[in-house]
Structure 1
Amino acid sequence: MKPLVKWVGGKRRFIKDIDPYLKNYKRYIEPFAGSAAVFFHLNPQNAILNDLNKDLVNFYKNVRDNPIQLLKSIENLFEVKTDVESYYLLRDEYNSLKGNSLRKSAIFFYLNKVAFNGIYRVNSRGIFNVPVGKHKTYYIPTESEFLEASELLKNTKLYSISYESIMDKVNNKDLVYLDPPYFPDETSKFVGYTDPAFGKEQHYHMLTLCKNAFAKGATIIISNSRSKEFAMALYKTFDSSFITAIQIQTNRSINPNANNKNRFVEMLYVIKKEQ
């Protein structure tokens, strides 16, 4: 099924490239979930999803526990509130709400669809501050899609903790898909794929955790930029006979120049004992 929300760097367009490697596992784990496009495509019977964005994870929890009520709340928002003034009023309300209410999850979904390019960004005070977008239509999943997602999420443990804590949970026969903020390179750093809090040292640390998970018998899949430095660090961490490197050409969903239609190359690394 389609992901319920859109997210910067979402992998729905990569499914055909990732799909051949989504086999022979007991449990699926995504430490950087975002839109969880691979998860929704795979439909695993046993999974872990994690994201540091608590409101995103709370949205998934409300889809799991209250799918029909949440959908009705969302539909009510879109019936009368897609104008610019309503967007900013709802953005203010969202920033004032605490906890895991249905109302906050409904507004979270609304902002995800109506905000500029579906970006989720907060300022230093934790205030969501993305301006309204220029969308003319909005994709809202149907009731059957919400119910399907709800059933899938009932087989899934949802967390909003550090990815390191999730990697500690990895065991034999797990399939771990890592889609971190990208290692900085000349094409990724200006479009929101990188995160100043997740720089080079954090990527090297992530590879150490991947090595530990691989030693336990897990299969590791990593999406990242086409950085030679990251590739060198990866091949120093693992025996090259365990690595399959795949180049993926894609159009970036966020680009500072709207007229720039160039395609970019990103990398998919599959690390497993049986190639």
Structure 2
Amino acid sequence: MKSNNKKKRAFLKWAGGKYSLVSEINEQLPSANKLIEPFVGAGSVFLNTSYKQYLLNDINPDLINLYNTLKHNTEQFISDAQQLFCAANNQRERYEALRKEFNQSQDSYSRSVLFLYLNRHGYNGLCRYNASGYFNVPFGRYRAPYFPRDELYFFAEKAQRAEFTCLPFQKVFSKARQNAVIYCDPPYAPISDTAHFTHYAKGGFSAQDQIELARLAMRAGHKRNIPVLISNHDTPFTREIYRHARLTELQVRRSISQKGEKRVKVGELLALYRC
């Protein structure tokens, strides 16, 4: 499902974001009226496709709260968020104070504004929470964090075609109907025993979750006639659980390191389930 527009960047920095792969993903996505994303993340696939409708989900409530706030209160949100992007707030002590304010706040609007600030000022765009559910990404030490004004406006305009939900992926699959296509970008299976990074929200994404996702994808694609495309690392485990899908192999430069020289190419798979 190709987009007619120049590639659009997400307004969030996001570990594992799909901006660099949107062309390859678009080549695999079938045409449909609606795109459903159970793991929307920063939304690069959403931003670079041209479906009439979108159902965009993530298990991270702060992320979905931000998207709904931006969708429904665009001008006020952008104005308030931009005020946080100043030299006085680009210091470790101030960052930690605002991070504490975010963790203690129960106001959805304040949390949405602070979430964008933390994303752009925190270390390498990570989104990580501790066992108590507190955001704990350290200060990123950037010279002048970029305020993504144009990207925010583009997202907000396109979001008028989207519904945002915060549900387990199983429930999102149950919402899919005919003439929809599902794209899944789950927390990736580890490429080694020490490479786990699954804490985008409190909890994690286990091997059993990976297996359940593959099962639901096969059922949707082969029995319900709802195509499903999944991205993941290319490992013996993922090849086994996606054995009923059509696999496309990719080499992708990826790392959570800030230093470009530490970014190495790793194998990834696109697994397509369809009748």
Equivalent runs, 1:239-254 vs 2, <5 Å: 243-254=245-256
Letter paired with 1:95:
N
Partner of 1:83: 91
Query: Is the CA contact 1:48–1:158 (under 8 Å) kept in the aligned structure 2?
Result: yes
| Shift in Å, 1:117 | 0.9
Partner of 1:147: 153
| Alignment TM-score, normalising by the size of structure 2 | 0.88
Equivalent runs, 1:158-169 vs 2, <5 Å: 158-169=164-175
Distance 1:198 1:249 in 2: 23
Q: Indicate how the Cα distance of structure 1 residues 24 and 261 shifts in structure 2: closer, same or farther if over 3 A, else same.
A: closer
Distance 1:77 1:197 in 2: 30
* Cα shift readout 1:163-209 (whole Å, capped 9, x = no counterpart): 100010112221111111112333x8526268883222221111221
* Cα shift readout 1:51-96 (whole Å, capped 9, x = no counterpart): 1110100000011011111111111001241122211111011011
Partner of 1:227: 235
User: 1:216 is matched with which residue: 209, 212, 224?
Assistant: 224
Query: Is the CA contact 2:30–2:227 (under 8 Å) kept in the aligned structure 1?
Result: no
Equivalent runs, 1:1-275 vs 2, <5 Å: 1-79=8-86, 80-101=88-109, 103-142=110-149, 144-186=150-192, 190=195, 192=197, 197-214=204-221, 215-235=223-243, 238=244, 243-255=245-257, 259-273=261-275
Q: Indicate how the Cα distance of structure 1 residues 90 and 204 shifts in structure 2: closer, same or farther if over 3 A, else same.
A: same
SS in 2 for 1:164: helix
Q: Indicate how the Cα distance of structure 1 residues 183 and 194 shifts in structure 2: closer, same or farther if over 3 A, else same.
A: farther
Distance 2:271 2:137 in 1: 32
SS in 1 for 2:219: helix
Letter paired with 1:69:
Q
Please say which of residues 162-171 and 120-129 is displaced more in the overlay. 120-129
| Alignment TM-score, normalising by the size of structure 1 | 0.88
| Shift in Å, 1:119 | 0.9
| Shift in Å, 1:263 | 1.5
Q: Indicate how the Cα distance of structure 1 residues 145 and 197 shifts in structure 2: closer, same or farther if over 3 A, else same.
A: closer
SS in 1 for 2:145: coil
Distance 1:253 1:184 in 2: 12
Letter paired with 1:223:
S
- The unaligned stretches of length 5 or more in structure 1 are none
Q: Indicate how the Cα distance of structure 1 residues 66 and 180 shifts in structure 2: closer, same or farther if over 3 A, else same.
A: same
| Shift in Å, 1:136 | 2.1
Query: Is the CA contact 1:22–1:42 (under 8 Å) kept in the aligned structure 2?
Result: no
Query: Is the CA contact 2:36–2:183 (under 8 Å) kept in the aligned structure 1?
Result: yes
Q: How many residues align?
A: 264
- The unaligned stretches of length 5 or more in structure 2 are 1-7
Distance 1:199 1:192 in 2: 11
Letter paired with 2:186:
P
* Cα shift readout 1:98-131 (whole Å, capped 9, x = no counterpart): 1421x22111001001101111111111111111
* Cα shift readout 1:31-63 (whole Å, capped 9, x = no counterpart): 011111101111432010111110100000011
SS in 2 for 1:175: strand
| Shift in Å, 1:256 | 9.2
Q: Indicate how the Cα distance of structure 1 residues 109 and 256 shifts in structure 2: closer, same or farther if over 3 A, else same.
A: closer
